[in-house]
Structure 1
Amino acid sequence: MAPLSAVLDLGQQASAPRVTVSVVSHGQRSLVASLLAQLADLHDSDIGRVVVVHNLPDDELPRPQHAEFELLQMHNEKPLGFSANHNRAFAHCATPWFAVLNPDIDFHFDNPFPVLFGAVAAEPRLGAVAPVLLQPGTLHAEPNRGVVTPLELIRRRLPGWRPPAEPSWLVGAFMMVRADVFASLDGFDERFRLYCEDIDLGLRVRDEGWGIQRVNGARVVHQTQRSSHRRFKYTLMHLISLLQLWFKLLRDCSCSPHF
């Protein structure tokens, strides 16, 4: 395994940063470079460190010159799944909060972090929060997600179906989790490789008595790729992950409240 590389030592800051950001690159240099530049443009002292995990062989990315955060880059010897990559990044989290971001997040609007921190200050029992994800082009908000069960999949296709008023879980494209809660849950379940990790984590956060919230005042654009809608390989992986999730819920509690 290649060693960690730190490209900046920030030294002492006026106030302690509150969030470590984790980003996984699958050879997506341009997307990740754009995301780093956008994070730097926020000039947000709450962002103490950004960890980029290179899941495929790649050269290190330059740190934006105006960045106020520390940049750490990790290189995998072999490709890992979503869960394992972000769990590796979390090992370098030294802040109270841990944020998971996709490379295809676009900060089209104002900085979402102050709004997210405002929400957790108002409700200390929140274990995870997320901004509203807007679809590119239309800027329509992606709907809240309920637990993806067989019954829920049927309900979605019935006339008059509406998404839940409150989400049962938060989308892994952008979520911010209390570091102590994430650690107590042993992070993402690495038995999931690409899909359902965020569903599983959200349900476990709630089962431990913590709340989750999609914060309507915080908005970002999610330039989603929807790979599972176009390629059979990803559709199959999605179905396998759903089966894993259902079997896990049934195994953990045969009368699971999530079904």
Structure 2
Amino acid sequence: MAYSMAVTSEPESRATADDAAASVAVVTVTYSSGDYLRRFLQTLKTATDRPVQVVIADNGSTDGAPERAAAEHDSVTLVHTGGNLGYGGGMNRGIAEVDPDVEFVVLSNPDIEWSPGALDELLAAARRWPRAGALGPLITEPDGTVYPSARRVPDLVSGTGHALLGAVWKSNPWTAAYRDHDAELTERPVGWLSGSCLLVRRAAFDAVDGFDARYFMFMEDVDLGDRLAKAGWLNVFVPAASAMHAKSHSVSRHPERMIAAHHDSAYRFQADRHPGARWAPVRWGLKSGLAVRKKLAVSAALRRQRADASHTEQEG
């Protein structure tokens, strides 16, 4: 897959060997992630040559995978969060276990599979961009297609258009703008980066108080990227680093919960940025539209789930 190292803003000169010796930790949040977690840890070994501390923040797994990982890997620390705190809440809990002196922390889903050298590429880019608060790799789907992981921050119009129409009219102009479809695979600052795999500078993450735990799932990465930018940090896309995101194992098991969380988070993001009486009619209209859209999406997902289950039973 071709990509370019061209940049749209002048970064600091390339790192020296001494600069590359940055301390780094990895935090992942699990919720019965099964074999995905094993592959995550296995491929992480090829992502960098340096020793890496791994913290697993477990949100209530019942499959034993986090416990096995901690038993099999000396570098892994398992933290039980005490309940399902969601992605942002679980991640904040895991990062709290990392020594504050560790300069960089990887925030990642457990269903990420790293490409060789990917973490080293992110760390090298962090040295080139000293104001980068977050850096994200090129993320691919299991079939090799590129996932739009580096996007613009949605404004009220594009965000609403995408939220309401993205699933039923995939080529609509608001979704295209939100996903930044026309952008090239170049190393550059962007609006926000996918939280499925993200390297953050600890000083920047702490400066904005980490993830907003009110986002149970979805949009917490958009919110983080937006707050980092408003605090003067950059979100830098680094396509020289790549990872594959298996994704959706939790979504496919519990579509009604995940779809509801997605719509609720979309509303929260825009409502937080449009407070006060002046915007009350807009918030009301957005909430009503998303409520209808959520109901339709959940119903469709449950129908597909029942149809798939029926098909499986017939084949058995």
Q: Indicate the TM-score class for this superposition, using the shorter chain for normalisation.
A: 0.7 to 0.9
Deviation track 1:97-133 (CA, whole Å, cap 9, x = no partner) reads 11111111112x3221111111111121111101000
The answer to whether the Cα contact below 8 Å between 1:195 and 1:237 also exists between their aligned partners in 2 is yes
Q: 1:148: how far off?
A: 3.0
* Separation (CA, whole Å) in 1 of partners of 2:190 and 2:145: 17
Equivalent residue of 1:234, what SS? helix
Q: Specify the alignment match of 1:243 in structure 2.
A: 267
Q: Specify the alignment match of 1:204 in structure 2.
A: 227
Q: Which moved more, 1:29-38 or 1:83-92?
A: 29-38
Q: Specify the alignment match of 1:52 in structure 2.
A: 56
Number of residue pairs aligned between Structure 1 and Structure 2: 235
* Separation (CA, whole Å) in 2 of partners of 1:193 and 1:45: 33
Q: 1:180: how far off?
A: 0.9
Q: Which has the larger radius of gyration?
A: 2
In structure 2, list runs of 5 or more residues that go unmatched.
Answer: 1-19, 163-170, 184-188, 280-316
Equivalent residue of 2:84, what SS? coil
Q: Specify the alignment match of 2:200 in structure 1.
A: 177
* Structure 1 vs Structure 2 CA RMSD: 2.8
* Separation (CA, whole Å) in 1 of partners of 2:70 and 2:175: 49
In structure 1, list runs of 5 or more residues that go unmatched.
Answer: 1-14
Please give the TM-score of this superposition, normalised by the length of structure 2: 0.67
The answer to whether the Cα contact below 8 Å between 2:46 and 2:116 also exists between their aligned partners in 1 is no
Give % identity.
Answer: 25
- Kindly provide the amino acid, as one letter, of the partner of residue 53 in structure 1: A
Q: 1:88 and 2:93 equivalent? A: yes
Deviation track 1:28-59 (CA, whole Å, cap 9, x = no partner) reads 13111221122234452152x10011211444
Q: 1:233: how far off?
A: 3.1
Q: Specify the alignment match of 1:151 in structure 2.
A: 157
Which of 196, 219, 223 aligns to 2:242? It is: 219
Q: Specify the alignment match of 1:118 in structure 2.
A: 124
* Separation (CA, whole Å) in 2 of partners of 1:229 and 1:26: 12
* Separation (CA, whole Å) in 2 of partners of 1:175 and 1:159: 25
* Separation (CA, whole Å) in 2 of partners of 1:16 and 1:114: 10
Q: 1:158: how far off?
A: 3.2
Q: 1:29 and 2:53 equivalent? A: no
More helix by share: 2
Equivalent residue of 2:214, what SS? coil
